[in-house]
Amino acid sequence: MSRIRSFLRNPSGNVAMIFALTMPVIVVTAGMAVDTSKVESSKWSMQRSLDAAALGAAKQFGRTQDRAELEHWASSLFFANEGRNPADNTRFTYEGVTRKDGNNVLRVSATRDIPTYFGGAVKAVTGGRLDLERWPVQAFSEVVVANRSIELALVLDNSGSMERAPAGGGAAKITTLRDATKKLVEEMLKSQPQANAKDPVRISVVPFAASVNIGKDYANADWMDTKGINPSHHDDLDWSKLAGAKQAADGSWRLSNAPLTKFTIFEKLRQRRSDWGWGGCVQSRPEGFAITDDTPDTRYPSTLFVPMFAPSEYDWSGTLSSVKNDYLPDASKPSNSADATALAKQRDVTKYFGTGAMDTRKGGPNSGCTTSAITPLTATQSTVQSAVRDMQPLGGTNIAEGLAWGWRTLTSGQPFPEGRARGTKENLKVVVLMTDGENTYNAAYTSGEQIELTNANRSQFGTYGYGQFLQTAPKQEKVRTGRMFEATKATTPKAAITNITAAMNETMSLTCENIKKDGTNDEGGDGVVIFAIAFDLKDGSPIKDRLRACASNGIDGKSAKLYYDAKNSSDLLTAFSSITDEISALRIAR
């Protein structure tokens, strides 16, 4: 008996007993920690795959609302990311799209039974009361479908080169552009009936070539220079030769108390030839406003828009005189006299009020105005598709003007106020720019090189006027370089085609930057997101580099450039399809 009492009093024996009793608990606890880590890792992976599946299926919602097809997309994406492990017994469910808190919400979920390392030990220790041989986990993901509104400006090159097939052959580039745009419009507007708000997607169409046509219906708009007070309005017009004309203190001209403007001349010419009325194109705004969206205001005349009017040129001669736009006879024949003398004769407006013979073989007063009119933002698919079908390839290329007018269709101020206010939540403003060529101001040889003109104008007429013009401010009469240099910072002002083109290139880049800086979107990216597409442009083209720089760094401002180098028709179709997917309005809701 004494030996038994001695054993019970021995401390080392107690430790052994305690250890023997607690050892299973320690093992089970450690095992459960390992299994918990495994379960959490598996659940995180499953959640990530569910998010990918929900986003992928939601992107297809604008294309189709067929449940079986959406379920196929979601399931395929889930298992492509997660893999299939029979031991996990993973079950995926596409739950569909339902209305929740005023939004259309797409939901997917998954469950999984994860085999554990120590579940058997736990079961044994607890006498089967706790069975953790398989650990069930579940997760879900919800995506708000078409939650944000989209305002999309399609700024599309309609220059003459679009009539040709790309270098790789096939259909004319304008045909491929129409097809690609048609598909984009169909996909973007198809989901309107299922959208959360009225007209969540609206699209404008801005065809551009050497100029942009805003539409003849705006001739009397408040933002048009109907009184001739814009400082560029009379660059090529001398009203002093017209009997009874008087100049006002603001620089405008009047006759019998009626304003004398380019509209006056267009009306005179229209009375003689019906298609010589104003065609709807406008000039680039002077004094740096060409690259802004500043609201037109009569207090600041340079912000008003001037109708584009190509003057009847003086009778200059030379090997390139075939491009001369002398559609009316001059009052006198300056021929190739000094620049100032020739320009003074050319500016004489009396020829537009006479009855001299009209040369209808020439370009006429609407020379350079070749595109169909802008289509402002609309949610009506037929209206947009009609505008796309009407696009015709003709004329030069002025990318900056196309960009500027695309921007102006997206804002809430004049001249096109259909856009939502800057800073509107859950509203994405987008410009899609597509061009196939370099900026051009003059006609070009078959090689693509622009002609160099040495007459008094130093260029053909375009949205910036001529390469040089006669400035006639009191006591300041002189020949000065054209207004294409007024917005530039780095280009040397010189009336030569190389400098003129360089100014156009710089103006394009400056316009791009101003557009992107117009606010900030909900994801922290550019206020207006720019997608830029180079179509059939040769490697090494200076415009390619500018297009790449023009493109936004993703919608969030932190991703890859939204730039596409479409070398052939197939690439262009792919680019438009990719853009459609990229701007789908989606966000994870959970």
Residue 13 within any structural domain of the chain: yes
The full DSSP string for 519-566 is -B-TTSSBSEEEEEEEESPPTT-HHHHHHHHHS-B-TTSSSSB-EEEE
Report how far residue 209's alpha carbon sits from residue 54's, in angstroms, rounded to the nearest whole number. 42
Same domain, 36 and 173: no
Residue 167 within any structural domain of the chain: yes
Number of structural domains (the chain) is: 2
Local structure of 108: helix, strand or coil: strand
Residue 4: what pLDDT? 47
Residue 304 within any structural domain of the chain: no
Residue 183 within any structural domain of the chain: yes
Residue 47: what pLDDT? 94
Report how far residue 111's alpha carbon sits from residue 37's, in angstroms, rounded to the nearest whole number. 17
Cα separations in angstroms, 355 against 169, 258, 309, 350: 49, 22, 19, 10
Q: Which of 116, 145, 174 is the last residue of a domain?
A: 145
Same domain, 191 and 45: no
How many CB atoms are closer than 10 A to CB 470? Answer: 21
Per-residue burial over 444-467, b = 16 or more CB atoms within 10 Å of its CB, e = otherwise: beeeeebeebebbbbbbbbbbbbb
pTM, rounded to two decimals: 0.81
Residue 98 lies in domain: 2-145
Q: Residue 458 has what DSSP assignment?
A: -
How many CB atoms are closer than 10 A to CB 412? Answer: 13
Same domain, 42 and 161: no
Torsion 396-400-405-409 (CA) sign = positive
Same domain, 116 and 30: yes
Q: For residue 216, what is the enclosing H or E element?
A: none
Which residue, 574, 474, 581, is CA-closest to 180? 574
Same domain, 43 and 126: yes
Q: Which residue has the tokens 């117009």?
A: 518
Strand-strand pairing, 478-481 and 468-471: antiparallel
Same domain, 170 and 92: no
Q: Which of 113, 145, 177 is the last residue of a domain?
A: 145
The number of angstroms, rounded, from the C-alpha of 47 to the middle of its chain's C-alpha atoms is: 34
Same domain, 140 and 171: no
Q: Which of 145, 176, 194 is the last residue of a domain?
A: 145
Same domain, 26 and 127: yes
Same domain, 86 and 196: no
Digit-by-digit pLDDT tens for the chain (590 residues) are 555 455 455 555 555 555 455 555 555 555 555 556 777 888 889 999 999 999 888 877 766 778 999 999 999 999 999 887 766 688 999 999 988 876 789 999 999 887 765 555 555 666 555 555 677 889 999 988 766 789 999 999 999 999 999 998 999 999 999 999 999 999 888 766 555 556 789 999 999 999 999 999 999 999 999 999 999 999 999 999 999 999 999 999 999 999 999 999 999 999 999 999 999 999 999 999 999 999 999 999 999 999 999 999 999 999 999 999 999 998 666 555 689 999 999 999 999 998 888 999 899 999 999 999 999 999 999 999 999 999 999 999 999 999 999 999 999 999 999 999 998 988 999 999 999 999 999 999 888 899 999 999 999 999 999 999 999 876 678 999 999 999 999 999 999 999 999 999 999 999 999 999 999 988 889 999 999 999 999 999 999 999 999 999 999 899 999 999 999 999 999 999 999 988 864 555 54
Residue 19: what pLDDT? 47
Same domain, 175 and 64: no
Residue 224: what pLDDT? 98
Residue 345 within any structural domain of the chain: no
Same domain, 94 and 166: no
Residue 267 within any structural domain of the chain: no
Same domain, 162 and 129: no
Q: What is the 3-state secondary structure (H, E, C) of 493-508?
A: CCCCHHHHHHHHHHHH
Identify the CATH number of the domain in which residue 557 sits: 3.40.50.410
Residue 354 within any structural domain of the chain: no
Q: For residue 272, what is the enclosing H or E element?
A: helix 262-272
CB 118 within 8 A of CB 35: yes
Residue 298 within any structural domain of the chain: no
Count each helix (H run) and each strand (E run) in the chain, helices first: 12, 15
Cα separations in angstroms, 201 against 150, 185, 513, 576, 583: 5, 10, 24, 16, 11
